[in-house]
Chains A and B, each alone.
Chain A
């Protein structure tokens, strides 16, 4: 069974940093491109970052470019999101998701909540 389990969320102040983790199981993680997608409370889905299977290609949404860094450790079946200079508008539920094919995020974690408030 494919599983993605996020962790690392919490309550922080503007300007703080957090590192989210996503541990994968049930599939060949090292062959799978991965994404982070977030959802602010009561709002829609916002894609924020992509990382290829070999870490050779990374992409970011403009809203997080320069502040967030995506990475992975294929030996540990883990995906990460380092979030620096957090803002109130970064408050959201953060999901990791596997990209199986074009426009196909076929497995998602349950999400980890990040709350940025002063």
Chain B
């Protein structure tokens, strides 16, 4: 199975900060990567798919980049509603795998 490793596991940031989360795949996955946001008690919400395509309705402060084995999710200016846990996910090959998550907390 392809392993997805996110870093950092958690971070503290302030409103207005630029935040970057990295996801590394244990082998190449082309651009078959998605990013999800999950808030406590809620289902995950798709932010980015195909590594860099913004899902409809998602604010433009979210962006994704990368291909192959290294990917990033960037929040250009952190907003109060962005404090949540973020997951990457590959479905280049089965089994589909998620990263372990990155919790973004208020500094």
Expressed in whole angstroms, the minimum distance between the Cβ of B43 and any Cβ of chain A is: 4
Q: Does A101 contact B (CB under 8 A)?
A: yes
Contact in complex: B43, A109 (CB < 8 Å): yes
Chain A minimum-CB-distance residue to B94: A59
Interfacial chain B residues near A50, Cβ < 8 Å: 94, 96
The docked-state distance in angstroms from the alpha carbon of A32 to that of B76 is 33
Q: How many residues of B contact A (CB 8 A)?
A: 27
Q: Does B91 contact A (CB under 8 A)?
A: yes
Contact of B34 among A62, A103, A108, A111 (CB under 8 A): A103
Interfacial chain A residues near B72, Cβ < 8 Å: none
Interfacial chain B residues near A11, Cβ < 8 Å: none
Interfacial chain A residues near B96, Cβ < 8 Å: 35, 47, 50, 59
Contact in complex: B43, A106 (CB < 8 Å): no
Contact of A103 among B1, B32, B43, B95 (CB under 8 A): B32
B20-49, CB under 8 A of A: which get 1 and which 0? 000000000000111010100001111001
Interfacial chain B residues near A47, Cβ < 8 Å: 89, 95-98
Q: Does B50 contact A (CB under 8 A)?
A: yes
Q: Does A75 contact B (CB under 8 A)?
A: no
Interfacial chain B residues near A106, Cβ < 8 Å: 46, 49, 55
Interfacial chain B residues near A111, Cβ < 8 Å: 43
Q: Does A88 contact B (CB under 8 A)?
A: no
The docked-state distance in angstroms from the alpha carbon of A24 to that of B18 is 37
Binding site for A on B (CB under 8 A): 1, 32-34, 36, 38, 43-46, 49-51, 55, 87, 89-92, 94-101
Pick 6 A–B contacts, CB within 8 A, sort by A: A44-B100, A59-B95, A62-B95, A102-B49, A103-B32, A103-B91
Binding site for B on A (CB under 8 A): 35, 37, 44-47, 50, 59-62, 95, 99-106, 108-111
